[in-house]
Structure formats: C-alpha cells, structure tokens
Structure 1
C-alpha cells in the first residue's frame, strides 16, 4: 500500500499555487491583477515600500503529495533580485537567491525559473518567493510545483520541441539559401531575417540560450525575447509585403506595412527597456502593436485574395496557425486566459510549421518568379543568344559553318588595300530549289562551302554572305594561285541523293582599295556583269563598269524621249526550214537608234528592259512594231518571234493584255511567237509567268524556250511551262565543228526530246554550211544565224536557202569518229 501511494505521488501532475498564495507588495500591486485569471489575493499585511514583492504560501498542505526533489517553477520576469525560501517542519530552511543576470542554473526550458527542494512537500511548513523591483504583478503568470518525474518529462518535451524547431528553422534556412539562381530576391532576405529572428526569439524565450551562457537567462532572456519578437514581427511584415505579387498589393496597405514594420521594431525594443521606460506601459503598447499587425496582415491577405494572388494561399497556410496561437498568447498576456504550457509549446510548434510553410511559400514564389524570370531569362537568353549568335554569326554561318556577312564586313574593314575581294554567286540555285527541293539546294551550298574551304588556305577569309552569295578575301601574294583554283571548280560534277549536278558560279573580283562599301560595290558590279553574261565565270572589275553605270543612268534618262521619237526599232532575222531551205518565220530583235551612241543592242540597254517604269512601255512598243509588221506582211510570213522578259509576263492580266493587242491589230494569235529564256523559271514570280504563258498558249500563240540546255533543270521547265518551240543555244552549235563530239550528243538528245514531246526544234547561231548540214542530219527542224541572214531593219520577202549536199564539207570539217 505504501509503495502504491508513493508511486502515485511520484507521478502527480503540476500543482498551480495561485489560489494558495498571497501577495505582499507595494500599494496597488495586487489590484493590477484583480480582473485577471492570474489574480492573487493580497496578504493581510501592510503595503511594502522597500521595493520587494513577496508571494507567500498560505496553505502548505497543497504540497503534501510532492516527493523529495520536487520543483517550484516560476515565470521568468524582470527583477533586480529574487529570493525563494522553504521552511521544513524540523525548522530547516532551504533557500535560493539570484540577481539580474546571475540566475545561474536556475533556468528551466519553457521560459521558467526552476527551484528544486530536497524535503518532500508534506514536510514544508512555509514557502516564500520575493522579487525586488519586479515589473508588475501582471507578469506573475506561472507559480506551480511539479514532481521530479513530471518536471523531467516536461523538460524532455521542451527539448524535443526545441530540437524539432531548430531543425525546422535551420533546414528552412539552408533550403532558402540553397535556392539560388544567381541573385537573391528581397523576400528571400526577409525570410532569412525572419528565420534568424524567430530562432533567436525561440531560444531566448525558452531559455535555451542558457546553454551558451547562463547570463542570457532570467530577466535578460525576457528582454532578448521582446527584442527578437518585435523584429521578428517586423521581418514577417516585410516578408509578406515583398512575397506577394506586386499587382496584389494595396498602396495604402503597403505604406502602412512599412510603418508597422518600424513600429513593431521600436515597440519590441521599448518593451525590453524596463530600466528606462515603464514596463507595464511598454508591454501594453507592444501588445497593441501586435494586434494592429495581426489586423494589417488580415487586411493584406484579404486584398491579395481578392486580387487573385496565387502565393497568398501558401502564406495563409503558414500564418493561420501562428496567428491563432499568438492570439491565445496575447489573450494570456492580457490576463484573459490562464498560463498553459500547451499554448507556449503550440506557439513554437506553429513557428516550426510556419518556417516550413513559409519555406514552401518562398519556394513556390521563387518558382513563380522563376517562371517569370525564366520567361524573361529566356527572352534575355534569346536576346543574348541572338547577340551571341550575331557575335558567333560574325564567325559562323548556320548552314555552311563558314563566316557570315558580319564577320566578312569586320574582316573587310581590317583588310589591306591590296587584298583581293571576291563575291561569288551560285548560278541557278533557285532552279535547283524549285526542281529538287530546298534540301538539295542547301546541300549544294554546303558542298560549295566545303570545296571553297578545301582550296583556300586558312589565312584567307571565307564567308557566306546570305542566300547563294559567298565572299572571299585573298592575300595579294596568293591571288594568282587561288583564283586559278577557284576557276577550276567551274563545272565540277557533284552527286547527291542519286542526282548529279555541276557546280557553276559567277564571281566578281576587285581590290580592297577605298572604303569597304566602295570595294563591295565594285565587286558586286563585276559580279552582276558576270551574271549578265550567262554566269559560270569570274569577272575582274574594270573602269568599264563605271562607264557602264554612267551609261545606264544616261540611257534611263534618254529612254522616254527615245520612245516618243521612235528611236526603238526591230531588226528581223529569218528562221529557215533546214530540210527545205524555205523561210519559216522571223525573230524580232530590238535595237535602239541612239542619236549620239549609234545603234544599240539589248545587251547595251538591258537596264531598260527590267526597269519598272520604262520596261513595260518598251515592251508595248516592241509589240506594236511587231504587230504592224505582221499586218503589213500578210499571210506570206508565218510568224514573228518576239522576246519577252519575266517582268512583262506576270499574271493573267499580262496575258490578256497581249491578246487584246493582237485583236486590235487584227493579227491571228498563231502568227505571234512569245520567246522567253529559261531564266523565267528562276524569277521570283515564275508562277505568275506560267499563268500568263498558259493563257497565251491556249489562245494559239506559240511559246518558244530560248537558250535551251543552259539551265539546271531544262527538262523540268518543259513540263512546267507550255512550250511549243525549243531553241538550241548557240554555244552547242558552235561546238559542232570542234574536235570533241560532246555537242553532237547533246544536240541529238535535245532533238530527240523535242520530237518525243512534239516540239519544234530551232538551232541558233548557225554560221557555216557544215553546222547546218550536221544539224539537218541530226533531225533539227529549223535554224537561224549569219549563214542565212544577218538581222535587218526591214522585213524582206521570204528568202530561200538552197539545200546543198555538203557531205564533202562535212567530211572535211566534222571531227573524225
């Protein structure tokens, strides 16, 4: 039975002594807590004027169940000195006396002072607790006794809780520090500040700073916790201000939040300054500031929710428990609720939870900002990439991995004046793209880039300037060798994906004398000259080009007057049936009887033909002259072939315009032949040109392809455009009487193709009987050239070319097999 009673006593719960003690202090001290749950009845003694406040146990029997080693627990308060004394039944006295800053090991976890007693409670006859210069009776909230086991369990609970709290705060801090993407956002700093201050508040309030130094417990712990709490609330306010999105903030709440931040800090330090300011007043002010801060937080959260803040819900999740518990603590501080370890422990558990919740909030906000920042970063990255690409583009072209225009321009600006500048333009690239696809065209450019890189040494600058154009800077000492290598690439075969093409390009060459712009202009003029002459060649710049520019400007100026004065005329060259020798038709060749420059051919005034203003007027003049000639010649002349450029055949309207002109002149459509070169297939408006040609063809007008066989995709063009006549280029005809037989086979193939497709075949540039005979033997239908007649200004009666047996001449001039 004794063992059982002793065991029960050893595990008795805490004993609240408020109802069993009386207060002996200064006048009005007891009245401070008259309406508080902590009220203590005054002792029946005269008021004290010595600055001491005594709590005297009036009923020692409340301690009778406490075993030896029981502990008296008191709230930490601010005082100069404290004295605790217990008298035993045998007259012995056990007492403790400490001063401010010298409480020694009397501190206990949970913000308490602990005084253990050796005598069991049943032997205690009196217990007195004295405070010298106590802040006020309102701060006497805990006066209780506990058994050793109960106190050990309570201390263990606090140790576990503080361990969890420290772990949560430190982990949250480390996590916050780990979330770093090159810069810290303001709310990260405030979160770090809040975490540090929260840790300081928890360690100071719960006395765990005493592990570092005993002087940081007791009254000093109260002062530190007031400072930490004020600044922690201020940091939390700033954290909320900086954490929510800018569009979710209210301007007035923003400025009031700044004010509360300063007010909370000042109020916390003022509450800690008990030696300078009245503690009761500063404590009340501090509590009022805390209430205002809670109201402000509630208002800010409400506004943020209404403005559809995404982050506020995470913040609310972390703050609601803390606000709820701090509301309970505030009620306890105001004497509305009793002292309870549960509230205190819940406070710090909620701070631990809040640290984690805020860490998640910060992470979410960082993710949200990160996304925005990532979007901005992506934009910036794109901008940097574009800038970097431009910088790298100064070194690398994405398709060919050569330098590009920016690099070339930079190199050109630094080039020696004698450095050789070459601009290269790939011939017929558009035709390759249209016929075989963009991919093949790109592969062709890559192949040309590789071949150029292979033949050029490393100290030369090679760049792709865009599209089908390349630029090269060659040191003057290597000019002869490298241009020879460059020329050797012309016509080089290239096979890809089962197709074999030839590399042809035009090149303009000059020196880097003068400004980079002037050098580029000269090279471009030379390149243009090379392109105009059929491509596949390198053209050095000469002063002739400057004169040509001046001439072009003059011709553009003179052209309107020339049209009005009838200076443009047509010369006609007959087309002969090679089998019968009879004239089949005429090709109309434009000439300009310039009063100062003499007779000009289209090659001299090419610029007029492509001019958007003069070109259409000139083409109308050609049509008018040709139709007048047809009308005058009557049906004795089969047809006239008139040369058209792509500029004058764009769209159905252009086709209908030509038909209207025929109708006005009373000339049947079959007597007009529209002659175009394969270059129209490379025109950017080739689809519109094809539409116009189809309209003309359907009306009965013949369509002739001039210079057939010189383009990349002649066969494809025959399928795309409505062609009636194929004209073999003079370059093939000229080679008929040379030692090689390649021209024979090419012409034989073209004639066979024409026959198979039911096309008439005309050979251009026939100058000898031998050429005419070979062409006739190969099956060519018609021919034209100086052999039959030179172009003349007037339509002559149809001529006849006697067909001779020129086998002997052929035997003499044709190459032996």
Structure 2
C-alpha cells in the first residue's frame, strides 16, 4: 500500500510539474539542440498557465525533427536564468519561415505573448528576434507554434542577452547591406561598361548580379521589412533564375563554344533544369527549397568544372574565374548539405556566410572581366600596331626604305586636289621626276647587288631632302620623284647636283640624275602633271647625253 501511494504521488508530480529540470541559459545557444522537444501541431491551443504544461505535453506526439517540407510544429524548451541579466531576446524559428506564435511561461506565473516570422512585425531590422523579460533566478518554459510551407533548416530557439543581440544584428546588418550594396554597384557599373563597350559576357554578368541581388534581398526579408510584401511563393524564383545568366556568362567568358564545345553543350542543363523546376514555387512550394538547392548544386558543379578545364587548357581568363567560384563554393559546401537536411547548419547564420562568399565571388569575377578587357585592349593595341606596320609596309619600297609608287599616287591625288581647291597655300605644288642614270651600266658591269647598293645610296640622299612639305618616292626601277612646294624647287635641284657628285665619289662614275619638273598650276590634271614632268625629264636626259657626246669629241 505504501509503495502504491509513492507511485501515485510521482504520477501526480509528473502531471503538475514540467517533465525535467530547467537548463541554465547560455546566450546564443540553440535550446533545441539541448533539451528541446518537437511535437506535431495538430491544433493551436497553448497551455493556459504554467501548471498546465505537463498535462498539455502528455497529450502530444513528439517527433525527432521537423520536416523540411513544412508544416506546423510545437517547439518546447525549458530554461533557467542564473545570470543577473533581465533583458533578453528570443530568436525563434529557422532562417526563413512564415509565422510563429510564442508563449513564455515563467515560474512566477507570468505569461509573455510574442509573434515572430515573415509576417510579424520586426523589432530588429532584418531579424526575427523578439524582446522578452526573464528575471534573474527565474525558470521558464518556452513554447512556440511555428507554421511554414517549408523550412530551410531545422527550426531553432535561441536566447541572447539584449545587448549582445543588438550588437549581433548591427554587425550582421552592416555586412548584409554592405554586400547587397556592393552587388548593386557592380551590377550597375558593368551594365554601363557594356553600354559603352558592348560585350555579351559583361551584359550577362550584370544581369546575373541583379538577379543575385534580388534573391538575397528577399532571403534577408528586405521586401517584407520595407514594403510589407510577405508572399513566400516569390522567394525562390530568383534562386532558380540566376543560373541562366551566369551560365551564359561563363560560356561566353571562357569561350567554351570555341575551345570546349562539349562542355558548352553540357552547360545547357543549367538552362533547362531551372526552368523545369521554376513552377514548383507556385505548384509545390514545400519542395521549392530542395529543388532550388539541387539546381544550384548542379549549376555550381558545372561552372567550376568548366573553369578548371579551361584553366588546365591554358586559358588565362580562367584564373580569376576559378578563384571566384572557389570563394562561392566554400560557404556553399557548408549550407547546401543543411538545405538537404543532411546536417545541422554549422554556423548561426549560414545564409550570411553564403552572401559574403557570393559578394567576394562577384568582386573576383569583376577582376576577371577587367582582366579580359585588359587583354582585349592589349590585343587591340597589338592589332593596331600590326595594322600600322602593314600600312607603312604597303607604302614603303622594300629595297630603299622610302615611300613607294602607291604612296606617291595617294599623296599626289590629295595634294593636287588641295591645290585645285585653294587649300595648297601660297606656294603651288611642284613635282620633280628623276631618272637615276648609270644604273644599267653598274648592273651589267658589277652585278645587281652593286646596282641595289646604288639605288639605296641614292634613296638615302633623297631622304636628306625630306621636310614637312617635301616627300620623296621610288616609282620603280631607276625612277624616283619628289613632291614639294614650288618654292623648294631650286634648292632641290641644287641638292640633286650635290648628290650626283657624292655618288661619283663613291665609285659610281657614271651615276647621275636626269630631272624634269612641273607644277600643278600648269597642269589640268595630276596625270598631265606627271606626263609634263616626264617629258621634261627626258629632255634633260637627252641634253645630258648630247653634252657628254660633245665632251667626248672635244677630248679627242
């Protein structure tokens, strides 16, 4: 009989009192990982008072964990405040959840009522925390009814001292807003870069950043906090879509179609899979987080694989790209397994860590694009240099190094047209046509190498006559010409006589220069100008021949 009374007393105590002793609270600790219990919430009825809690719990079925596919659950945790702090903050639920009703039953009989979640009013910017009072030395039972169409991570209950939580939210908000601001600035900057210098990779990158910015702004409750927009159906839309512009970016940036066409074709999965999964945000919202996690995992794996293959193939643009995706993959490897429900989140706010990794990735990809633009500018500079060289070579006689017939034709047409248009200045345009005498004799007697040397020496002499409005040209064979202002003709004729003497001193005894010149003023066309100078040049040549013949007869 005595044993029966003892057993009855224990049963009554089990009904009237909570099932276990309250645990001393530690700021920031997840109460659900310690002695917390989870029950399926088939109703919404809370215990009326502290003394009803044990009976209320006895009628409910405990479950080991909440389903990531959503639903309503009761979360129960017992705490004891052994500190001297009275002001606390309860941070309830998961990273993102729809709504939660909370009751805090203190041992002194008081009950605090709270609302939290995506649809509740925010006491701390971008965070779900709610202020509570817990007297020093008091015990309390926290009961939360959480209801959401999905859970990104197992629901949790954390208590922080108010001062610590305020510092925590201030620090996290600075990182969140700073990261979102950096993403927005990079998106706008690269869009302007694309508008000034159209490049598809830059455009795709800018679109990706805009979508990435919207995705994380929703994840951290900005639309709900600032605009009162609480529809969870839109949360995962940008997470599905951001794989599309990013894939278009890396296919273009890494030039996969040209260098790795199979990888380019395989990357089409990143276009098809997100679009196939996107309707889940409307038709099957509880499955959207898992499907988005799967889509992002496939996208990141393919993107990193393409970068590594391109890097090993020697693509210089792949260095920054691989480094950028490593910056994103490190936090992704922490958060993605928890999104699949495989492990608990390894840090308090894994989404913030992922946002920081994504922002670092965006900065490194910006460096990659800048590196690409630098390489393109270098290639353009080299191409312009090669083009200029080609133009110079196209206008240069390869043997003598002075301008050739093509350059002469262009210059004559331009300067003659300017002369006729009244833009030639006070002095008219003159053309001197020169025939190098004695070249055939040198070729026949000493060989063509010696003849080429004569041509080069004569051309070097003509180069000495160059000035701003004087141009020298080799037309071909032994024919040369000079375009100059008419006021220089006398000086040029004298210089040609001196050059002739110099050549004869260099063992070219028969070298000479027959010259004929004409002006634009006396020529109805540029062709007539050349013909007139040619006619006068042959007159000069014949006169020199007659003079040499007379000298030869006189010497006999």
Q: Distance in 1 between matches of 2:429 and 2:36?
A: 111
* Structure 2 equivalent of residue 348 of structure 1: 355
Pairing partner for 1:155 from 169, 174, 181: 169
* Structure 2 equivalent of residue 200 of structure 1: 214
Deviations 1:595-638 (A, max 9, x none): xxxxxxxx9xxxxxxxxxxxxxxxxxxxxxxxxxxxxxxxxxxx
* Structure 2 equivalent of residue 754 of structure 1: none
Cα distance 1:162–1:443, how it changes in 2: closer, same or farther (>3 A)?
same
Cα distance 1:370–1:45, how it changes in 2: closer, same or farther (>3 A)?
same
1:507 and 2:516 are equivalent in the alignment = yes
* Structure 1 equivalent of residue 423 of structure 2: none
1:333 and 2:339 are equivalent in the alignment = yes
Pairing partner for 2:159 from 145, 153, 166: 145
Is the 2:89–2:161 contact (alpha carbons within 8 Å) kept by the matching residues of 1?
Answer: yes
Instruction: For residue 333 of structure 1, report the CA deviation from its aligned partner.
Output: 0.9
Q: Distance in 2 between matches of 1:516 and 1:192?
A: 57
Unaligned runs of 5+ in 1: 1-8, 28-41, 391-396, 454-461, 475-481, 536-602, 604-706, 711-728, 732-763, 767-782, 785-817
Is the 2:71–2:150 contact (alpha carbons within 8 Å) kept by the matching residues of 1?
Answer: no
Deviations 1:324-371 (A, max 9, x none): 321321110111111332633432332233223223322333333333
Q: Distance in 2 between matches of 1:413 and 1:254?
A: 56
Cα distance 1:250–1:122, how it changes in 2: closer, same or farther (>3 A)?
farther
Is the 1:83–1:130 contact (alpha carbons within 8 Å) kept by the matching residues of 2?
Answer: yes
Q: Distance in 2 between matches of 1:98 and 1:10?
A: 21
* Structure 2 equivalent of residue 314 of structure 1: 320
* Structure 1 equivalent of residue 273 of structure 2: 263
Is the 2:183–2:209 contact (alpha carbons within 8 Å) kept by the matching residues of 1?
Answer: yes
1:114 and 2:129 are equivalent in the alignment = yes
Structure with max Cα Rg = 1
Q: How many residues align?
A: 472
Cα distance 1:116–1:66, how it changes in 2: closer, same or farther (>3 A)?
farther
Q: Distance in 2 between matches of 1:253 and 1:232?
A: 19
- Secondary structure, aligned partner of 1:445: coil
Cα distance 1:23–1:345, how it changes in 2: closer, same or farther (>3 A)?
same
1:425-436 equivalent positions in 2, closer than 5 A: 425=434, 434=454
Q: Distance in 1 between matches of 2:273 and 2:205?
A: 19
Pairing partner for 2:121 from 104, 114, 117: 104
Is the 1:55–1:128 contact (alpha carbons within 8 Å) kept by the matching residues of 2?
Answer: yes
Instruction: For residue 315 of structure 1, report the CA deviation from its aligned partner.
Output: 1.8
Instruction: Tell me the TM-score normalised to structure 1 length.
Output: 0.48
Cα distance 1:429–1:279, how it changes in 2: closer, same or farther (>3 A)?
farther
1:94 and 2:109 are equivalent in the alignment = no
* Structure 1 equivalent of residue 537 of structure 2: 527
1:69-80 equivalent positions in 2, closer than 5 A: 69-73=87-91, 74-79=93-98
Is the 2:87–2:133 contact (alpha carbons within 8 Å) kept by the matching residues of 1?
Answer: yes
* Structure 2 equivalent of residue 83 of structure 1: 101
* Structure 1 equivalent of residue 144 of structure 2: 129
1:131-280 equivalent positions in 2, closer than 5 A: 131=146, 134-136=148-150, 140-162=154-176, 165-166=179-180, 169=183, 183-207=197-221, 213=226, 215=228, 219-220=230-231, 225-246=235-256, 249-261=259-271, 263-264=273-274, 267=277, 269-270=278-279, 273=281, 276-280=282-286
Q: Distance in 2 between matches of 1:408 and 1:137?
A: 82
- Secondary structure, aligned partner of 1:61: strand
Deviations 1:159-181 (A, max 9, x none): 34336535754675687579789
Is the 2:402–2:459 contact (alpha carbons within 8 Å) kept by the matching residues of 1?
Answer: no
Is the 1:405–1:466 contact (alpha carbons within 8 Å) kept by the matching residues of 2?
Answer: no
Unaligned runs of 5+ in 2: 1-23, 44-56, 63-69, 396-400, 421-427, 443-450, 505-511
Cα distance 1:169–1:441, how it changes in 2: closer, same or farther (>3 A)?
same
Moved more, 281-290 or 517-526: 517-526
Instruction: Tell me the TM-score normalised to structure 2 length.
Output: 0.67
Is the 1:87–1:125 contact (alpha carbons within 8 Å) kept by the matching residues of 2?
Answer: yes
- Secondary structure, aligned partner of 1:533: helix
1:370 and 2:370 are equivalent in the alignment = no
Deviations 1:779-799 (A, max 9, x none): xxxx53xxxxxxxxxxxxxxx
Cα distance 1:530–1:130, how it changes in 2: closer, same or farther (>3 A)?
same
* Structure 2 equivalent of residue 284 of structure 1: 290
Cα distance 1:302–1:235, how it changes in 2: closer, same or farther (>3 A)?
same
Instruction: For residue 293 of structure 1, report the CA deviation from its aligned partner.
Output: 1.7
* Structure 2 equivalent of residue 730 of structure 1: 550
Is the 1:248–1:309 contact (alpha carbons within 8 Å) kept by the matching residues of 2?
Answer: no
1:408 and 2:412 are equivalent in the alignment = yes
Is the 2:204–2:246 contact (alpha carbons within 8 Å) kept by the matching residues of 1?
Answer: yes
* Structure 2 equivalent of residue 765 of structure 1: 553
1:470 and 2:482 are equivalent in the alignment = yes
Q: Distance in 2 between matches of 1:490 and 1:235?
A: 71
